[in-house]
Structure 1
Protein backbone atom coordinates (compact mmCIF):
# COMPACT_ATOMS: atom_id res chain seq x y z
CA UNK A 1 0.00 0.00 0.00
CA UNK A 2 2.59 2.52 -1.07
CA UNK A 3 1.87 6.17 -1.54
CA UNK A 4 1.49 7.81 -4.94
CA UNK A 5 3.99 10.66 -5.26
CA UNK A 6 2.28 14.01 -5.70
CA UNK A 7 3.18 16.77 -8.11
CA UNK A 8 5.43 18.48 -5.57
CA UNK A 9 7.48 15.32 -5.10
CA UNK A 10 6.61 15.07 -1.40
CA UNK A 11 4.43 12.16 -0.44
CA UNK A 12 3.15 10.30 2.57
CA UNK A 13 5.22 7.18 3.21
CA UNK A 14 2.49 4.57 3.56
CA UNK A 15 4.70 1.59 2.79
CA UNK A 16 4.10 0.12 6.24
CA UNK A 17 0.33 0.72 6.28
CA UNK A 18 -1.90 -2.32 6.63
CA UNK A 19 -5.32 -0.78 7.29
CA UNK A 20 -5.49 2.19 4.90
CA UNK A 21 -5.06 2.53 1.14
CA UNK A 22 -3.55 5.85 0.07
CA UNK A 23 -3.69 7.83 -3.16
CA UNK A 24 -1.99 11.21 -3.13
CA UNK A 25 -2.21 14.03 -5.65
CA UNK A 26 -0.83 17.53 -5.65
CA UNK A 27 -3.82 19.09 -3.91
CA UNK A 28 -5.53 16.16 -2.15
CA UNK A 29 -5.04 12.89 -0.30
CA UNK A 30 -7.54 10.05 -0.75
CA UNK A 31 -7.64 7.56 2.12
CA UNK A 32 -9.67 4.35 1.98
CA UNK A 33 -10.34 2.28 5.08
CA UNK A 34 -9.22 -1.23 4.21
CA UNK A 35 -10.14 -3.93 6.70
CA UNK A 36 -12.93 -5.54 4.67
CA UNK A 37 -12.66 -8.86 6.51
CA UNK A 38 -14.04 -7.14 9.64
CA UNK A 39 -16.23 -4.57 7.84
CA UNK A 40 -13.60 -1.86 8.36
CA UNK A 41 -13.94 -1.97 12.13
CA UNK A 42 -11.77 0.79 13.57
CA UNK A 43 -8.90 -0.77 15.47
CA UNK A 44 -5.58 0.50 16.79
CA UNK A 45 -3.92 0.05 13.37
CA UNK A 46 -6.45 2.35 11.69
CA UNK A 47 -6.07 4.89 14.51
CA UNK A 48 -2.26 4.84 14.26
CA UNK A 49 -2.30 5.17 10.48
CA UNK A 50 -4.84 8.01 10.61
CA UNK A 51 -2.50 9.82 13.00
CA UNK A 52 0.27 9.41 10.42
CA UNK A 53 -2.05 10.83 7.74
CA UNK A 54 -2.83 13.81 9.98
CA UNK A 55 0.84 14.47 10.70
CA UNK A 56 1.50 14.56 6.95
CA UNK A 57 -1.45 16.87 6.21
CA UNK A 58 -0.51 19.19 9.05
CA UNK A 59 2.90 19.59 7.40
CA UNK A 60 1.57 19.61 3.84
CA UNK A 61 -2.03 20.92 3.90
CA UNK A 62 -4.30 19.26 1.34
CA UNK A 63 -7.94 18.25 1.03
CA UNK A 64 -8.56 14.84 2.61
CA UNK A 65 -11.07 12.40 1.11
CA UNK A 66 -12.11 9.53 3.37
CA UNK A 67 -13.91 6.48 1.98
CA UNK A 68 -14.53 2.82 2.72
CA UNK A 69 -14.62 -0.42 0.81
CA UNK A 70 -16.77 -0.17 -2.34
CA UNK A 71 -19.38 -2.80 -3.11
CA UNK A 72 -18.93 -5.32 -5.88
CA UNK A 73 -22.36 -6.19 -7.35
CA UNK A 74 -20.96 -9.04 -9.44
CA UNK A 75 -19.73 -10.90 -6.36
CA UNK A 76 -22.48 -9.72 -4.05
CA UNK A 77 -20.03 -7.89 -1.80
CA UNK A 78 -21.69 -4.96 -0.05
CA UNK A 79 -20.10 -1.57 0.41
CA UNK A 80 -18.97 -0.55 3.89
CA UNK A 81 -17.54 2.69 5.27
CA UNK A 82 -16.89 1.53 8.83
CA UNK A 83 -19.00 -0.71 11.03
CA UNK A 84 -17.73 0.93 14.21
CA UNK A 85 -14.96 0.21 16.66
CA UNK A 86 -13.42 -3.25 16.72
CA UNK A 87 -15.55 -4.94 19.43
CA UNK A 88 -12.88 -7.57 20.08
CA UNK A 89 -10.49 -4.78 21.10
CA UNK A 90 -13.18 -2.58 22.65
CA UNK A 91 -14.42 -5.28 25.03
CA UNK A 92 -11.03 -5.44 26.70
CA UNK A 93 -10.63 -1.71 27.18
CA UNK A 94 -10.95 -0.25 30.67
CA UNK A 95 -11.29 3.15 32.32
CA UNK A 96 -7.76 4.29 31.54
CA UNK A 97 -8.31 3.49 27.85
CA UNK A 98 -11.46 5.62 27.82
CA UNK A 99 -9.64 8.51 29.49
CA UNK A 100 -6.88 8.24 26.86
CA UNK A 101 -9.43 9.15 24.16
CA UNK A 102 -8.09 6.70 21.59
CA UNK A 103 -10.72 7.39 18.92
CA UNK A 104 -11.79 10.87 20.02
CA UNK A 105 -8.21 12.09 19.83
CA UNK A 106 -7.63 11.12 16.22
CA UNK A 107 -11.12 12.22 15.11
CA UNK A 108 -10.55 15.64 16.70
CA UNK A 109 -7.21 15.85 14.92
CA UNK A 110 -8.95 15.09 11.61
CA UNK A 111 -11.57 17.76 12.28
CA UNK A 112 -8.84 20.33 12.89
CA UNK A 113 -6.81 19.62 9.75
CA UNK A 114 -5.88 22.83 7.91
CA UNK A 115 -7.81 22.00 4.72
CA UNK A 116 -11.34 20.57 4.35
CA UNK A 117 -12.11 16.89 4.91
CA UNK A 118 -14.64 15.06 2.70
CA UNK A 119 -16.24 11.79 3.80
CA UNK A 120 -17.59 9.62 0.96
CA UNK A 121 -20.08 7.26 2.60
CA UNK A 122 -21.67 4.05 1.37
CA UNK A 123 -23.02 1.08 3.31
CA UNK A 124 -22.72 1.02 7.09
CA UNK A 125 -21.24 4.03 8.89
CA UNK A 126 -22.00 3.04 12.46
CA UNK A 127 -20.61 3.84 15.90
CA UNK A 128 -17.02 4.99 15.53
CA UNK A 129 -17.47 4.95 11.76
CA UNK A 130 -20.28 7.49 12.06
CA UNK A 131 -18.21 9.59 14.46
CA UNK A 132 -15.32 9.60 11.99
CA UNK A 133 -17.76 10.90 9.35
CA UNK A 134 -19.12 13.56 11.74
CA UNK A 135 -15.57 14.92 12.07
CA UNK A 136 -15.44 15.69 8.34
CA UNK A 137 -16.33 19.09 6.89
CA UNK A 138 -18.42 17.54 4.10
CA UNK A 139 -20.29 14.25 3.86
CA UNK A 140 -21.54 12.73 0.60
CA UNK A 141 -23.61 9.55 0.71
CA UNK A 142 -25.48 6.95 -1.31
CA UNK A 143 -29.01 5.57 -0.99
CA UNK A 144 -27.46 2.48 0.61
CA UNK A 145 -25.86 4.47 3.42
CA UNK A 146 -26.90 3.46 6.94
CA UNK A 147 -25.64 5.81 9.64
CA UNK A 148 -26.17 5.67 13.38
CA UNK A 149 -24.73 5.18 16.83
CA UNK A 150 -25.77 1.88 18.47
CA UNK A 151 -23.29 2.22 21.35
CA UNK A 152 -25.88 2.31 24.16
CA UNK A 153 -27.06 -1.12 23.03
CA UNK A 154 -23.55 -2.37 23.83
CA UNK A 155 -23.49 -0.81 27.28
CA UNK A 156 -21.32 2.16 26.36
CA UNK A 157 -21.83 5.62 24.83
CA UNK A 158 -20.74 7.33 21.65
CA UNK A 159 -17.79 9.15 23.18
CA UNK A 160 -15.73 10.14 20.13
CA UNK A 161 -17.63 13.29 19.22
CA UNK A 162 -21.20 12.19 18.51
CA UNK A 163 -22.76 13.67 21.65
CA UNK A 164 -21.86 17.18 20.53
CA UNK A 165 -20.98 17.06 16.81
CA UNK A 166 -24.19 15.23 15.89
CA UNK A 167 -26.33 17.70 17.82
CA UNK A 168 -24.63 20.57 15.98
CA UNK A 169 -25.20 18.84 12.64
CA UNK A 170 -28.84 17.69 12.91
CA UNK A 171 -30.28 19.34 16.02
CA UNK A 172 -31.11 17.97 19.46
CA UNK A 173 -34.33 15.98 18.78
CA UNK A 174 -32.92 13.83 15.97
CA UNK A 175 -29.54 13.50 17.68
CA UNK A 176 -31.30 12.08 20.76
CA UNK A 177 -33.24 9.60 18.61
CA UNK A 178 -29.94 8.35 17.21
CA UNK A 179 -27.88 8.42 20.42
CA UNK A 180 -30.52 7.41 22.97
CA UNK A 181 -33.04 5.53 20.86
CA UNK A 182 -30.70 3.60 18.58
CA UNK A 183 -32.16 4.99 15.36
CA UNK A 184 -30.21 4.30 12.17
CA UNK A 185 -30.70 6.72 9.28
CA UNK A 186 -30.93 5.77 5.61
CA UNK A 187 -29.08 7.76 2.99
CA UNK A 188 -32.24 9.67 2.10
CA UNK A 189 -32.91 10.44 5.76
CA UNK A 190 -29.33 11.67 6.15
CA UNK A 191 -29.87 14.02 3.20
CA UNK A 192 -33.19 15.29 4.57
CA UNK A 193 -31.56 15.93 7.96
CA UNK A 194 -28.61 17.77 6.43
CA UNK A 195 -26.18 15.16 7.71
CA UNK A 196 -24.98 14.67 4.14
CA UNK A 197 -25.08 17.33 1.43
CA UNK A 198 -25.30 15.10 -1.65
CA UNK A 199 -26.95 11.76 -2.41
CA UNK A 200 -25.37 9.95 -5.36
CA UNK A 201 -25.33 6.44 -6.75
CA UNK A 202 -22.49 4.22 -5.48
CA UNK A 203 -20.67 4.21 -8.80
CA UNK A 204 -20.43 8.00 -8.72
CA UNK A 205 -19.54 8.43 -5.05
CA UNK A 206 -15.80 9.00 -5.38
CA UNK A 207 -16.32 11.09 -8.51
CA UNK A 208 -18.62 13.35 -6.49
CA UNK A 209 -16.04 13.58 -3.70
CA UNK A 210 -13.30 14.51 -6.16
CA UNK A 211 -15.61 17.04 -7.87
CA UNK A 212 -16.12 18.70 -4.49
CA UNK A 213 -12.36 18.62 -3.90
CA UNK A 214 -11.95 20.27 -7.33
CA UNK A 215 -14.28 23.09 -6.24
CA UNK A 216 -12.29 23.60 -3.06
CA UNK A 217 -9.03 23.53 -5.04
CA UNK A 218 -10.26 26.40 -7.23
CA UNK A 219 -10.44 28.64 -4.17
CA UNK A 220 -7.43 30.40 -2.70
CA UNK A 221 -5.76 27.95 -0.31
CA UNK A 222 -4.93 30.51 2.38
CA UNK A 223 -8.46 31.91 2.27
CA UNK A 224 -9.91 28.40 2.67
CA UNK A 225 -7.60 27.58 5.57
CA UNK A 226 -8.34 30.78 7.45
CA UNK A 227 -12.08 30.51 6.78
CA UNK A 228 -12.12 26.99 8.23
CA UNK A 229 -10.21 28.15 11.30
CA UNK A 230 -12.50 31.13 11.87
CA UNK A 231 -15.63 29.04 11.22
CA UNK A 232 -14.73 26.61 14.01
CA UNK A 233 -13.61 29.27 16.50
CA UNK A 234 -15.64 29.88 19.68
CA UNK A 235 -18.37 32.52 19.47
CA UNK A 236 -16.69 34.74 22.04
CA UNK A 237 -13.67 35.41 19.81
CA UNK A 238 -15.82 36.82 17.00
CA UNK A 239 -15.69 39.33 15.37
CA UNK A 240 -12.07 39.93 16.44
CA UNK A 241 -10.75 36.75 14.82
CA UNK A 242 -12.72 37.50 11.64
CA UNK A 243 -11.07 40.91 11.36
CA UNK A 244 -7.59 39.55 12.07
CA UNK A 245 -7.93 36.80 9.47
CA UNK A 246 -9.31 39.24 6.93
CA UNK A 247 -6.39 41.56 7.63
CA UNK A 248 -3.98 38.78 6.72
CA UNK A 249 -5.88 38.03 3.52
CA UNK A 250 -6.10 41.70 2.55
CA UNK A 251 -2.29 41.73 2.36
CA UNK A 252 -1.93 38.47 0.40
CA UNK A 253 -0.72 38.44 -3.19
CA UNK A 254 -3.55 36.07 -4.12
CA UNK A 255 -6.15 38.66 -3.08
CA UNK A 256 -4.71 41.29 -5.45
CA UNK A 257 -4.20 38.81 -8.30
CA UNK A 258 -7.65 37.21 -8.03
CA UNK A 259 -9.48 40.52 -7.71
CA UNK A 260 -7.58 41.96 -10.68
CA UNK A 261 -8.49 38.89 -12.73
CA UNK A 262 -12.13 39.40 -11.74
CA UNK A 263 -12.03 43.05 -12.82
CA UNK A 264 -10.33 42.11 -16.10
CA UNK A 265 -13.01 39.52 -16.88
CA UNK A 266 -15.71 42.05 -16.06
CA UNK A 267 -14.22 44.53 -18.53
CA UNK A 268 -14.18 41.88 -21.26
CA UNK A 269 -17.78 40.79 -20.74
Structure 2
Protein backbone atom coordinates (compact mmCIF):
# COMPACT_ATOMS: atom_id res chain seq x y z
CA UNK A 1 0.00 0.00 0.00
CA UNK A 2 1.29 3.46 -0.85
CA UNK A 3 0.75 5.95 1.95
CA UNK A 4 0.67 9.13 -0.08
CA UNK A 5 -2.24 11.02 1.42
CA UNK A 6 -0.63 11.85 4.75
CA UNK A 7 2.58 13.60 5.61
CA UNK A 8 4.08 12.09 8.74
CA UNK A 9 7.35 11.85 10.57
CA UNK A 10 6.17 8.79 12.50
CA UNK A 11 8.12 5.63 11.58
CA UNK A 12 5.06 3.50 12.40
CA UNK A 13 1.41 4.23 11.63
CA UNK A 14 -1.23 2.51 13.76
CA UNK A 15 -4.67 2.10 12.22
CA UNK A 16 -7.61 0.96 14.36
CA UNK A 17 -10.05 -1.30 12.53
CA UNK A 18 -13.28 -2.92 13.69
CA UNK A 19 -11.79 -6.34 14.43
CA UNK A 20 -8.02 -5.78 14.22
CA UNK A 21 -5.21 -3.25 14.38
CA UNK A 22 -2.86 -2.45 11.49
CA UNK A 23 0.72 -1.53 12.39
CA UNK A 24 2.38 -0.07 9.31
CA UNK A 25 6.12 0.53 8.99
CA UNK A 26 6.52 3.89 7.33
CA UNK A 27 10.06 4.93 6.47
CA UNK A 28 9.81 4.69 2.67
CA UNK A 29 12.89 6.86 2.12
CA UNK A 30 15.05 4.08 3.62
CA UNK A 31 12.90 1.11 2.53
CA UNK A 32 11.36 0.86 6.00
CA UNK A 33 14.70 0.13 7.67
CA UNK A 34 14.16 -0.58 11.35
CA UNK A 35 15.88 2.02 13.53
CA UNK A 36 15.60 2.84 17.23
CA UNK A 37 12.64 5.18 16.64
CA UNK A 38 10.82 2.34 14.86
CA UNK A 39 11.56 0.00 17.75
CA UNK A 40 10.20 2.52 20.25
CA UNK A 41 7.06 3.03 18.16
CA UNK A 42 6.54 -0.74 17.96
CA UNK A 43 6.85 -0.92 21.76
CA UNK A 44 4.10 1.71 22.00
CA UNK A 45 1.90 -0.38 19.71
CA UNK A 46 2.58 -3.49 21.78
CA UNK A 47 1.66 -1.64 24.95
CA UNK A 48 -1.77 -0.90 23.47
CA UNK A 49 -2.24 -4.50 22.26
CA UNK A 50 -1.28 -5.92 25.64
CA UNK A 51 -3.78 -3.68 27.42
CA UNK A 52 -6.53 -4.17 24.82
CA UNK A 53 -5.83 -7.48 23.04
CA UNK A 54 -6.70 -7.58 19.36
CA UNK A 55 -5.51 -9.32 16.23
CA UNK A 56 -2.66 -7.30 14.71
CA UNK A 57 -1.48 -6.92 11.13
CA UNK A 58 2.07 -5.70 10.57
CA UNK A 59 2.65 -4.30 7.09
CA UNK A 60 5.21 -2.31 5.20
CA UNK A 61 4.63 0.53 2.76
CA UNK A 62 5.49 1.43 -0.82
CA UNK A 63 5.96 -2.21 -1.85
CA UNK A 64 8.51 -3.08 0.82
CA UNK A 65 8.02 -4.80 4.17
CA UNK A 66 11.38 -3.91 5.73
CA UNK A 67 14.73 -4.09 3.97
CA UNK A 68 16.52 -4.68 7.27
CA UNK A 69 17.76 -2.83 10.28
CA UNK A 70 19.11 0.68 9.78
CA UNK A 71 22.74 -0.05 8.80
CA UNK A 72 23.95 3.49 9.52
CA UNK A 73 22.65 3.12 13.05
CA UNK A 74 23.85 -0.48 13.44
CA UNK A 75 27.38 0.50 12.42
CA UNK A 76 27.66 2.72 15.48
CA UNK A 77 26.19 0.27 17.98
CA UNK A 78 28.60 -1.28 20.44
CA UNK A 79 28.75 -4.16 22.91
CA UNK A 80 26.34 -2.57 25.39
CA UNK A 81 23.76 -2.06 22.64
CA UNK A 82 23.96 -5.72 21.64
CA UNK A 83 23.57 -6.85 25.25
CA UNK A 84 20.53 -4.58 25.62
CA UNK A 85 18.76 -6.62 22.93
CA UNK A 86 17.20 -3.62 21.21
CA UNK A 87 15.72 -5.51 18.26
CA UNK A 88 15.47 -8.96 19.84
CA UNK A 89 13.48 -7.49 22.72
CA UNK A 90 10.79 -5.92 20.55
CA UNK A 91 10.49 -8.95 18.26
CA UNK A 92 10.10 -11.22 21.27
CA UNK A 93 7.43 -8.90 22.65
CA UNK A 94 5.57 -9.05 19.34
CA UNK A 95 5.83 -12.83 19.36
CA UNK A 96 4.28 -12.90 22.84
CA UNK A 97 1.35 -10.58 22.13
CA UNK A 98 -1.90 -12.03 23.49
CA UNK A 99 -3.64 -12.32 20.12
CA UNK A 100 -2.21 -13.54 16.79
CA UNK A 101 -0.08 -11.27 14.61
CA UNK A 102 -0.15 -11.38 10.80
CA UNK A 103 2.78 -10.10 8.72
CA UNK A 104 2.00 -8.81 5.22
CA UNK A 105 5.33 -9.34 3.49
CA UNK A 106 5.49 -7.45 0.20
CA UNK A 107 8.88 -7.00 -1.43
CA UNK A 108 12.01 -7.20 0.67
CA UNK A 109 12.06 -8.63 4.18
CA UNK A 110 15.76 -8.89 4.92
CA UNK A 111 17.79 -8.96 8.11
CA UNK A 112 15.76 -7.36 10.87
CA UNK A 113 12.80 -7.20 8.51
CA UNK A 114 12.89 -10.98 8.11
CA UNK A 115 13.26 -11.44 11.86
CA UNK A 116 10.20 -9.26 12.42
CA UNK A 117 8.25 -11.47 10.01
CA UNK A 118 9.50 -14.65 11.72
CA UNK A 119 8.20 -13.33 15.06
CA UNK A 120 4.65 -13.11 13.71
CA UNK A 121 2.16 -15.97 13.82
CA UNK A 122 1.25 -15.79 10.11
CA UNK A 123 3.00 -14.45 7.03
CA UNK A 124 1.27 -13.60 3.75
CA UNK A 125 3.45 -12.64 0.82
CA UNK A 126 3.29 -11.43 -2.77
CA UNK A 127 5.17 -12.64 -5.87
CA UNK A 128 7.73 -9.91 -5.14
CA UNK A 129 8.58 -11.21 -1.67
CA UNK A 130 12.26 -11.77 -0.94
CA UNK A 131 13.13 -12.97 2.56
CA UNK A 132 16.48 -13.80 4.13
CA UNK A 133 19.26 -12.90 6.55
CA UNK A 134 22.45 -11.46 5.02
CA UNK A 135 23.89 -10.36 8.38
CA UNK A 136 27.18 -12.33 8.23
CA UNK A 137 28.00 -10.45 5.04
CA UNK A 138 27.99 -7.31 7.19
CA UNK A 139 30.15 -8.83 9.91
CA UNK A 140 27.34 -9.60 12.37
CA UNK A 141 24.83 -12.37 13.01
CA UNK A 142 21.05 -12.47 12.88
CA UNK A 143 20.69 -11.97 16.62
CA UNK A 144 17.06 -10.86 16.86
CA UNK A 145 15.52 -14.32 16.68
CA UNK A 146 16.48 -15.76 13.29
CA UNK A 147 19.37 -17.82 14.66
CA UNK A 148 16.88 -20.10 16.43
CA UNK A 149 13.38 -19.14 15.24
CA UNK A 150 14.04 -19.82 11.55
CA UNK A 151 15.09 -23.41 12.28
CA UNK A 152 11.77 -23.96 14.04
CA UNK A 153 9.90 -22.55 11.05
CA UNK A 154 11.66 -24.23 8.10
CA UNK A 155 14.02 -26.87 9.51
CA UNK A 156 17.76 -26.90 10.07
CA UNK A 157 19.15 -27.51 6.54
CA UNK A 158 17.34 -24.61 4.88
CA UNK A 159 17.78 -22.34 7.90
CA UNK A 160 21.55 -22.86 7.66
CA UNK A 161 21.53 -21.94 3.97
CA UNK A 162 19.77 -18.68 4.80
CA UNK A 163 21.77 -17.85 7.93
CA UNK A 164 25.24 -19.08 6.93
CA UNK A 165 25.33 -18.86 3.14
CA UNK A 166 23.19 -15.79 2.55
CA UNK A 167 20.43 -17.51 0.61
CA UNK A 168 17.44 -15.23 0.00
CA UNK A 169 14.15 -17.06 -0.49
CA UNK A 170 11.72 -16.09 -3.22
CA UNK A 171 7.98 -16.06 -2.58
CA UNK A 172 7.53 -19.49 -4.18
CA UNK A 173 10.39 -20.98 -2.17
CA UNK A 174 9.07 -19.52 1.08
CA UNK A 175 5.56 -20.77 0.31
CA UNK A 176 6.84 -24.27 -0.48
CA UNK A 177 8.35 -24.59 3.02
CA UNK A 178 5.35 -22.82 4.62
CA UNK A 179 7.39 -19.88 5.79
CA UNK A 180 4.68 -17.98 3.94
CA UNK A 181 1.14 -19.17 4.61
CA UNK A 182 -0.13 -17.69 1.36
CA UNK A 183 1.05 -15.72 -1.67
CA UNK A 184 -1.37 -13.28 -3.33
CA UNK A 185 -1.06 -10.47 -5.88
CA UNK A 186 0.22 -7.26 -4.35
CA UNK A 187 -3.07 -5.47 -4.84
CA UNK A 188 -4.85 -8.23 -2.88
CA UNK A 189 -2.39 -8.36 0.03
CA UNK A 190 -4.26 -6.04 2.39
CA UNK A 191 -7.55 -7.83 1.71
CA UNK A 192 -5.98 -11.24 2.35
CA UNK A 193 -4.66 -9.99 5.69
CA UNK A 194 -8.05 -8.56 6.61
CA UNK A 195 -9.79 -11.83 5.72
CA UNK A 196 -7.45 -13.85 7.91
CA UNK A 197 -7.83 -11.32 10.74
CA UNK A 198 -11.62 -11.59 10.43
CA UNK A 199 -11.49 -15.40 10.63
CA UNK A 200 -9.43 -15.21 13.79
CA UNK A 201 -11.63 -12.48 15.28
CA UNK A 202 -14.71 -14.65 14.69
CA UNK A 203 -13.36 -17.21 17.17
CA UNK A 204 -13.87 -16.87 20.92
CA UNK A 205 -11.23 -14.25 21.88
CA UNK A 206 -10.17 -15.85 25.15
CA UNK A 207 -10.01 -19.28 23.52
CA UNK A 208 -7.67 -17.87 20.86
CA UNK A 209 -5.49 -16.19 23.48
CA UNK A 210 -5.16 -19.32 25.61
CA UNK A 211 -4.61 -21.54 22.58
CA UNK A 212 -1.73 -19.30 21.47
CA UNK A 213 -0.26 -19.41 24.98
CA UNK A 214 -0.56 -23.20 25.14
CA UNK A 215 0.91 -23.59 21.67
CA UNK A 216 4.07 -21.70 22.60
CA UNK A 217 4.46 -23.20 26.08
CA UNK A 218 7.48 -25.46 26.71
CA UNK A 219 6.86 -29.17 26.15
CA UNK A 220 7.22 -29.99 29.83
CA UNK A 221 4.39 -27.54 30.65
CA UNK A 222 1.94 -29.87 28.90
CA UNK A 223 -0.62 -31.25 29.63
CA UNK A 224 -0.97 -29.12 32.75
CA UNK A 225 -1.23 -25.83 30.89
CA UNK A 226 -3.82 -27.33 28.52
CA UNK A 227 -5.93 -28.55 31.42
CA UNK A 228 -5.77 -25.26 33.29
CA UNK A 229 -6.58 -23.24 30.17
CA UNK A 230 -9.51 -25.52 29.42
CA UNK A 231 -10.74 -25.21 33.01
CA UNK A 232 -10.82 -21.42 32.59
CA UNK A 233 -12.67 -21.65 29.28
CA UNK A 234 -15.21 -24.16 30.62
CA UNK A 235 -16.40 -21.47 33.06
CA UNK A 236 -16.92 -18.72 30.48
CA UNK A 237 -20.29 -17.49 29.25
CA UNK A 238 -18.85 -17.35 25.73
CA UNK A 239 -18.29 -21.12 25.77
CA UNK A 240 -21.83 -21.76 26.99
CA UNK A 241 -23.40 -19.41 24.44
CA UNK A 242 -21.40 -20.73 21.48
CA UNK A 243 -22.09 -24.37 22.32
CA UNK A 244 -25.77 -23.65 22.87
CA UNK A 245 -25.94 -21.95 19.47
CA UNK A 246 -24.17 -24.93 17.89
CA UNK A 247 -26.68 -27.38 19.41
CA UNK A 248 -29.62 -25.24 18.26
CA UNK A 249 -28.28 -25.06 14.70
CA UNK A 250 -27.88 -28.83 14.62
CA UNK A 251 -31.50 -29.28 15.80
CA UNK A 252 -32.73 -26.99 13.05
CA UNK A 253 -31.01 -29.09 10.39
CA UNK A 254 -32.78 -32.28 11.46
User: TM-score by structure 1 length?
Assistant: 0.90
> How many residues end up aligned between the 2 structures?
246
| Distance in 2, Cα, partners of 1:22 & 1:234 | 32
| Distance in 2, Cα, partners of 1:38 & 1:137 | 26
Alignment correspondent of 2:15: 23
Offset at residue 20 of structure 1 (A): 1.0
| Distance in 2, Cα, partners of 1:142 & 1:194 | 14
| Distance in 1, Cα, partners of 2:19 & 2:36 | 28
What is the CA deviation profile of residues 110-160 of structure 1, one whole-angstrom value per residue up to 9, with x for unaligned ones? Answer: 000000000001100000000000000000001100000000000000000
Alignment correspondent of 2:199: 215
Offset at residue 28 of structure 1 (A): 1.1
2:41 pairs with 1:49: yes
Are the aligned partners of 2:150 and 2:159 in contact in 1 as well (CA < 8 Å)? yes
- Aligned partner (choices 119, 126, 130) of residue 135 of structure 1: 119
Are the aligned partners of 1:17 and 1:49 in contact in 2 as well (CA < 8 Å)? no
- Aligned partner (choices 80, 89, 93) of residue 105 of structure 1: 89
- Distance of aligned partners of 1:252 and 1:188 in 2 relative to their CA distance in 1, 3 Å threshold: same
| Distance in 1, Cα, partners of 2:17 & 2:130 | 30
The higher relative CO (CA closer than 8 Å, separation ≥ 6) is in: 2
Q: How do 1:252-267 residues align onto structure 2 when only pairs under 5 Å count?
A: 252-267=236-251
Q: How do 1:194-209 residues align onto structure 2 when only pairs under 5 Å count?
A: 194-209=178-193
User: TM-score by structure 2 length?
Assistant: 0.95
Offset at residue 17 of structure 1 (A): 6.5
Q: Which residues of structure 2 form unaligned runs of 5+?
A: 1-7
| Distance in 2, Cα, partners of 1:26 & 1:203 | 21
SS at match of 1:18: coil
2:28 pairs with 1:36: yes
SS at match of 1:129: helix
Are the aligned partners of 1:146 and 1:187 in contact in 2 as well (CA < 8 Å)? yes
**Structure 1 runs of 4+ with >6 Å offset:** none
- Distance of aligned partners of 1:17 and 1:213 in 2 relative to their CA distance in 1, 3 Å threshold: farther
| Distance in 1, Cα, partners of 2:146 & 2:94 | 14
